[in-house]
Amino acid sequence: MIEHREKQTDVLVVGTIAPTEPRQDAAYHLEELCRLVENLRYRVTVTELVRLERPTAPYFLGSGAATRIAEQAHQNKVQAVVFDDELSPSQQRNWEQLTGLAVTDRHEIILDIFAERATTREASLQIERAQLEYSLPRLKRAWTHLSRQRGGMRGTRGEGEKQIEMDRRRILDRISRIDDRLAQVGVHRDTVRKRRTEQGPLVGAVVGYTNAGKSSLLGALTKAEDVTGADRLFATLDPKTRRLELHGEDVLLTDTVGFIRKLPHDLVDAFRSTLEEATHADFLIHVVDGSSMHAAEEMRVTREVLEELGAGTRPTITVLNKLDLLSEDQPPPRPDGNGPQVPVSCTDGRGLEQVRSEIDKLVAAARHRTDLRIPSSRYDLVALVHRTGTVRHREYDGNAVVLQADLPPETFARVREFSNTEGH
C-alpha cells in the first residue's frame, strides 16, 4: 500500500503486452489502470508497456525489463511503481528491494478505491475482510527488517518471525469475527428481500462496466434526486433501490457496483451484497458506454461476471448509454446476445421512454393474467392477490370474490385452483 497520501505521490505505471495482443488494446488497459491510480489522487508521471512472452518467477517481467524500469523510476524521481498484473508476495518484495520504492499492483489499487468509497457498515466490513485476506501472505514483507536486525542465529526465532505469527493470528481472528457479522447482515438482507418479493413489485438490477452510467440511468428513469452519476470508476459500491412508476405496474430498480477487467475474485466474493441483487433480480438492465471504443470488451467482461454469479440467463435490456458523446461518424456499438437494445442519453433524455416501454413489456411477460373465483372464506388469498399483483377487475358473486388480475408466478401457484383461465 502506498503511504504518505497527504503529499502528491508520483507514480510509474507498468503494463504488459501479451504475445498475440494488439498494442492498442494493451495501451487501453494501461490507460484504465492510470485512471484507477488517479482515482486515489496519485499522479502518473511515467508509463511503461512491456512485451511479455511469459511471466518469470523473480519479477514477473524479465530481468532486463526489470532493470530498465528501476532505472526509469529513479530517473523520474517517482515514489511508487504500480503494475497492471497481479504480483505474488515474493515478486512484490523483489521489486521493492530492486527499486527501494513502494511497489503495488492493480489488485491493491482496486482494494484501496473500494475502501475509500464504501459507505455502509456492511460494505466496510466486506472490504476490510478483502484487505486482510490480501495482507496475510504479505506479512513477511512488513517484518523482514526485524529478522535482519536479530541476525540468523540457528535455533532461535527472530522478532520478525514472532511478530508475523502474532499478526497472522490476529488477522485470522478478525476475519472470523467479520464473517460472523456478515452472516448476521446476510440473514437480515434475505428477510428484507423475501418481504419485498412477497409484496409484489418485480425487481430489476442495473449492471454494467464501471463508469458506464448506471447511476445516471437509475436517477433519470426514477427521477430520484439523491441518485446521480459521477465521472469516476467505482462511484457506486453500496446498492441503491428506487421505485420506477410505469403505466401498468411499478417496479424496483437497484443500482450495483460496476464491473471491471481483472476484477479480483476476492472482491467478487466480498461485494456479493450488491452483486447478489443481479442474481435475485427478475430482469437486468445492462448499461454500456456507447461512446467507448472498447464497448465490446466491456460488455464481454460484464457478461463473464454475471455468468460467474449465476445471473447470465436473466431477461436483459441492453442500454447503449452516452449517445450524446458519439461523434457523427461513430456508429453505436452492436451488442451481441438476445433482448432489446436501446440507445440512450441520460444527459438529454433521448431513449428513456423506450427503456420504460421495454421494462413494461418484461413486467407483462413475467405476470400471469388470470380470472379468479375465490370463496369469501379465503379472504387471505384475496388479500394476497391485491398485495402482490395488479387487480384489473373485481366484483362479488354470492359467496365468492371474482377477480381479474396480473400475478407473479409465486402468487399464481398459490391461487391456481381458483383460476378459470391458465394465465399467460
Is residue 241 scored above 90 in pLDDT? no
Pick the most confident of 19-23, 272-276, 362-366. 19-23
Helix (H, G, I), strand (E, B) or coil at 322: coil
Give residue 365's pLDDT. 78
240-244 and 251-255 beta bridge pairing: antiparallel
Q: How far is Cα 136 from Cα 350, in angstroms, rounded to an integer?
A: 49
Each residue of 132-180: pLDDT tens digit? Answer: 988 888 886 554 443 433 344 334 445 657 778 888 899 999 999 999 9
Contact between 325 and 294 under an 8 Å Cβ cutoff? The reply is no
Stretch among 58-72, 159-173, 259-273, 281-295 having the lowest mean pLDDT: 259-273
Give residue 171's pLDDT. 92
Mean of the per-residue pLDDT values of the chain? 82
Give residue 308's pLDDT. 79
Give residue 423's pLDDT. 47
| CB-based contacts of 190, cutoff 8 Å, min separation 6 | none
pTM of the model: 0.76
Helix (H, G, I), strand (E, B) or coil at 283: strand
User: How confident is the model over 243-250, as a mean pLDDT?
Assistant: 80
Is residue 406 scored above 70 in pLDDT? yes
Q: Residue 61: which pLDDT band, with cuts at 50, 70 and 90?
A: very high
Is residue 230 scored above 80 in pLDDT? no
* Alpha-carbon torsion angle 411, 416, 422, 424, nearest 10: 0
Each residue of 271-292: pLDDT tens digit? Answer: 666 666 677 788 999 999 988 8
Among 49, 27, 33, which residue's Cα sits nearest to residue 104?
A: 33
Cell of 401: 370474490
Q: Residue 373: which pLDDT band, with cuts at 50, 70 and 90?
A: very high
Is residue 335 scored above 90 in pLDDT? no
Among 246, 251, 243, which residue's Cα sits nearest to residue 352?
A: 246
Q: Is 148 left (phi over 0), alpha (psi -120 to 50) or beta?
A: alpha
Is residue 4 scored above 90 in pLDDT? no
Q: How far is Cα 260 from Cα 211, in angstroms, rounded to an integer?
A: 10
Q: Residue 7: which pLDDT band, with cuts at 50, 70 and 90?
A: low
Give, for 372, the enclosing helix (H) or strand (E): strand 368-375
Each residue of 183-208: pLDDT tens digit? Answer: 888 776 666 656 555 556 788 999 99
Contact between 263 and 278 under an 8 Å Cβ cutoff? The reply is no
Give residue 156's pLDDT. 40
> What share of the chain in percent tops pLDDT 90?
39
